[in-house]
Structure 1
Amino acid sequence: MQSNGFVPQRSYPRTKKIVFWAKIGILLLIVSYIFITVTRQQHDFQSAWGYWQNANWLSFSAFLLLLLTPVNWLLEALKWQILVRRVEPITLGEATQGVLAGLAMGFALPAQLGDTAGRLLSLRSDQRWEGIGAALVSGGMQFFAALFFGTVALFVQLQVGAKEMPMAQWALFWLLLLTLLLGGLAGWFRHRLAHLPFRWMQRWEKYWAVAAHYTTAELWLAFGAASLRYLTFSLQFYLAMTLFEIHLPARETATGIGLVYLGKTIIPAFNLLSDLGVREATSMWVFGQWQVPATQILSATLTLWLINILAPVLVGLFWVWKLKLTNRSS
């Protein structure tokens, strides 16, 4: 597409034997963490089993819930395709492979390290590591979307119970507004990222400088994909609640879902294995104010985790094996 002026980096070929055992190690690590995560949640799965047995899995809600899972990750792949094409033009299928490989690796590795590595290793270009900036912007867009909708949900919650809400929640609301403003300013002044004034940081510029070359249209397209994805898994949350007979007024349902995803976004995931514990705790706390039984909301959140995270991770294991740990041209 556009020329970004990046200088191709020297490739360092490795032997096929090293690549083979590196893949074996990555796959074993991911499978081990999946096993540990499921084992840790055994009690929760047992608690939810009764509700799963009584749920109507042949209903329209269940069908749509499952159908939206590929839509969810295709939107993430579309966002990645829009942003990474500054480094390397890829098809939507290739973007999906990279996203699923990153999801699988991110399941085992801390923070966003695994997710970013999986996406970058799926690229063909010898400039693949210069896509770090694209990965950061992609994650930032999803964070920004969750922050935006979560802030709206928090505002509605504050308006409904304005007299009962502690000052700490109003302080959080204004802090979130400030964060959104700072995020907007960062996007507005993004072109300065290409030439940082700090000499000690200039040696790393090439890894995030791609963020400075995005047009406003590209950023809006990426944010649109992030917003559509947010609305998709929010709809899945609602469908999971319906499946387990959780019925609340529309305002409480939408507000609760927004607050759950807000909490999942801003609360650090101390559990390096997945965000499952954060999602559970936040959901039970938020919906507990409307007297939703803990086991029911737990059943809904575990179902979301199984179909939106665990199932795609298992698919992503295949693409982890297909990753080229060396440049494809070498």
Structure 2
Amino acid sequence: MNTPMHTPPLLGASQALAMARETLAIEIQSLQALAQRLDESFVQVVQAILVTPGRVVVTGMGKSGHIGCKIAATLASTGTPAFFMHPAEASHGDLGMVTSKDLVLAISNSGESNELTSLLPALKRQGVRIAGMTGGLQSSLAKYSDWVLDTSVEREACPLNLAPTASTTVQLALGDALATALLDARGFKAEDFALSHPGGSLGRRLLTRVRDVMRSGDDVPRVLVADGFDRLMREISAKNMGASAVVDAEGRVQGIFTDGDLRRRIEDGTDLRHATAGALMHKHPRTISEEALAVDAAQLMEQHGITSVLVVDAQSRLVGMVHIRDLMLAKVI
């Protein structure tokens, strides 16, 4: 016989908003309390991680484990080698991943999670240092830890005061605080962050150089100052970049002539048939080094309302050209 499903009563909009605001208020209060009680123990953990020759091994069970995964990922992406170890799997062999050179960051709100506390004696026998992140300051985890980071909360945001809510928010925020303090101490820069995120948009923006996206060699449209209009137009048409560099005999950039320049010359009645590239060119074009970031080329184009930039060396010799299409194909913009 099928048991009829219980249909919960509909929650009024005002009641839902009130519950949401109360949840956020409790979690905000918990974070404020955490900020007020941060002490020398936090500094000691930061210093210990900085001098750790191995990695930070983050471990935790249940919801604390989920928070631990995020903390390990944040540490790893901000210059502190770290990984997450599941306590249950550690008891069945994964503990072999931990060495005496590592530091374990163990997370448990109560400090009495069986899967976690069973690992602590083995870790101490290996000489592994332990930083405990717990709300149980008299717990087994606290007693085994070399440093204790207090993540206690007055109450959970859950109306039943049961589901980990405020406590996991505090754990997550404290993990972020550790990561930011460490990256600041290491002098970690945006370029360093990009190195661990090469597939992301930030990585592309901070790692891609002009030399990686520019046209070079015979693909770059160029004419000499003395070349005539016919030669200039053939070069623009052949290279399909809507412009041509104008250079001297040594290859130094003297100017640029674009489709827009052609339109303006026609509009002002210039006799193009006998004009030279030198007479028609726009002098002092925007240029960039091939070592510059591609995003800098994009900003140069946006700032001056242009679609291409000439790439030059230290002697102003033409070495390439980058078009807005090249930046789009490289997903820099």
- TM, length-normalised to structure 1: 0.27
Q: Which has the higher helix share?
A: 1
- Structure with the larger RCO, 1 or 2 (CA within 8 Å, 6+ apart): 1
Q: Which has the higher strand share?
A: 2
Structure (1 or 2) with the larger CA radius of gyration: 2
